[in-house]
Amino acid sequence: MGMKLGVDIKKIIDFRQKLHKFPEISGHEQKTTDLIKHFVSHFRPVRVYEFPNYSIAFEFGSGQTGKTIMFRADIDALPIDETMDLPYRSVNKGWSHKCGHDGHSAILVGLAEALSRQKIKDRVILLFQAAEETLTGALDVISDKQFEQIAPDVIIGFHNIPGYDYNSILVRKGEFNAYVSGIKVVFKGRSIHAAYSRSNSNFILALEKILALIRDTFYHTDLAKRGDLNLTYLNYGKPTFGISPDELVLHIVPRAYQVQDLEEIMDFVEKEMRAVARTHELSIDFIYTEDAPAIYNDPGLVDKLVETVEQEQGRVVFLEEPFSWGEDFGFYTVRYKGVYFGIGSGKERPQLHSKDYDFPDEIILPSIEFLFKFYLKLSQN
């Protein structure tokens, strides 16, 4: 049992490992949500909010003070094969929890148990959000009319971060991460018999130019100092030997720390890609994802977060630069006052999204205790 909050940490860890065993990627989190709902229902929440596309939230407390404080955890897995020999290894082929969202969910479930054992005067909402990895889940939640009934005064998010000491707290005022967008680029030409493909080499020449553009050209411009450009997906043709394809599809991900820089990088991509298409007599189409805004940390909330760490003699890591990865939590902080922080998950732990990553269960209880103490700090003011 937890020493301070009466949390049954063994059951919480078992729950984390169960989520790990049955991972579901963005858009498929139905069983994950069902497992969370079943577990949290034992703590008798005041109300349950079920959002479209598998996000779910639970309300605790009397709401007598009129303050609404929301905590959010992400719940989706990744389309990565489980290669580790774990007793709770994924049984869903091609899917696994390689970002630690199983651990984040377990921490929030533990907070639900802690809240259920206390007299809570505030209105506390625990949001288990789907589809973070595709940067679409937060918009699904905010766009739903039920969220108007929640309207949080404060929203808190967190993520485990490998490469830092266990249970260290990583904070930054202002932007915590990068602005990120996604561009699907589709080149189209004509299909031809593979025997005559020399007369239809447009796609090969175009692809050569595109790879050089992403690998070299971008990084020789001033934009490279203000952002980044990555290729995350490429599809050309089908597994045959007789057909030269008629389509080339790429997913390109620009990112930057300032929104105007992101817009310039996106303009650069479109201009250069159109030039490639013209040169090689191909048609081109662009499909843009919703840009994920950077998370903006309210300075006052960061101060309260730091005070909570110092009271517990914890370790604070003040980040000089924002993280370069995207996170749809930024959709919340555009509209509501919020704070997002990192929790150190071990200096030697493999990085997020790597095949040999697994969430460390030893940080679950300290994280639950920290979140509860942070809630108390927020409740005082």
pLDDT along the chain (381 residues), means of 10: 75 98 98 98 97 97 90 98 97 98 98 95 97 96 96 98 97 96 94 58 88 90 93 90 87 94 96 96 93 96 95 86 95 98 98 98 97 94 68
Rounded Cα–Cα distance for residues 234 and 213 (Å): 15
Q: What is the pLDDT of residue 164?
A: 97
Q: What is the pLDDT of residue 314?
A: 75
Q: What is the pLDDT of residue 198?
A: 55
Q: What is the pLDDT of residue 66?
A: 79
Task: Catalogue all structural domains in the chain, each as residue range(s) with its CATH number.
Answer: 9-178+294-379 (3.40.630.10), 182-288 (3.30.70.360)
SS3 string, 27-86, reads CCCHHHHHHHHHHHHCCCCCEEEECHHHCEEEEECCCCCCCEEEEEEECCEECCCCCCCC
The residues near 225 (Cβ < 8 Å, ≥ 6 apart) are none
Rounded Cα–Cα distance for residues 63 and 363 (Å): 30
- For the chain, how far is it from start to end, CA to CA, in angstroms? 30
DSSP for 280-339 reads: TT-EEEEEEPPPBPPPEE-HHHHHHHHHHHHHTT--EEE-SS-BSS--TTHHHHTTS-EE
Rounded Cα–Cα distance for residues 231 and 109 (Å): 36
Q: What is the pLDDT of residue 197?
A: 54
pTM reported for the whole predicted model? 0.92
Rounded Cα–Cα distance for residues 84 and 139 (Å): 33
Of residues 170, 185, 270, the one with CA closest to residue 234: 185
Q: What is the pLDDT of residue 9?
A: 97
Write the Ramachandran bin of 153: left for phi over 0, alpha for psi from -120 to 50, otherwise beta: alpha
